[in-house]
A = this chain, B = another copy of it.
Amino acid sequence: MKVRGNNNHKSMGGQVPEPTLRRLPGYLSYFKSLKINGIEHVSSSQIASTFNMDATLVTKDLSHTGIKGRTKIGYNVDKLIETIIVFLDFNTHENAFLFGVGNLGKALINYDGLKHYGLKIVAGFDVDPRVINTSVKDVKVYGVDDFRDLSRKIPARIGIITTPDGKAQETADYMVAWGIKAIWNFTPQSIKVPDNIVVENTSIYSDLAVILNKLNK
């Protein structure tokens, strides 16, 4: 007999597959649009057809979050939204520092979305005197040296790297020394950090490679 246990907390053993984690935000966006349109229930086959995937996979993905559907009815949209938001920690406000306030950095700061997805960029850092002491939206930009004081006022566990290529490793080293626990690296450069630091590389070049490959096939 298998123990199901309560699955309100993902701290329990059961690892969630990364592909599942990656799909959940897409589902969430879809469920929100359903809610706006006044739709109260949705079935796995509907979801699957929207995302061009297998219905069983949807079912499995959703089961990881602990949500229960009803036979012949499907899943409750409100419940889906609430459950996924909590499951992905999108209801928390995790502070983040952003290093490299160029075009991409500014775009991320201006990107309202992040706020509703658990991330709050609380300060920007740069080496360019022309951007230091300016503000992007309500986010102030500091020089690197101001970090010590700032980190005492506003603790942050996440660091975002949007510097030009070539400065990524240097920036990552700073961040780790500062006490940053997770690094979100938007440069194509690979960075080396201690094992206990979480690193996520977001490379639009990877996406581009996939597009060009499919297009020219």
Contact = CB atoms under 8 A, between A and B. Distances in A.
Given A22-B206, A118-B208, A190-B30, A213 B182 contact: no
A156 to B, nearest CB: 12
A157 interface: yes
Query: What interface size band does chain A fall in?
Result: 35 or more
A46 to B, nearest CB: 12
Given A25-B188, A26-B206, A29-B190, 18 more contacts: A18-B210, A26-B188, A26-B205, A28-B188, A28-B205, A29-B205, A52-B192, A88-B209, A90-B212, A94-B215, A104-B107, A113-B188, A118-B208, A158-B215, A182-B214, A182-B215, A198-B214, A200-B211
Given A26-B203, A188-B29, A202-B204, A213 B107 contact: no
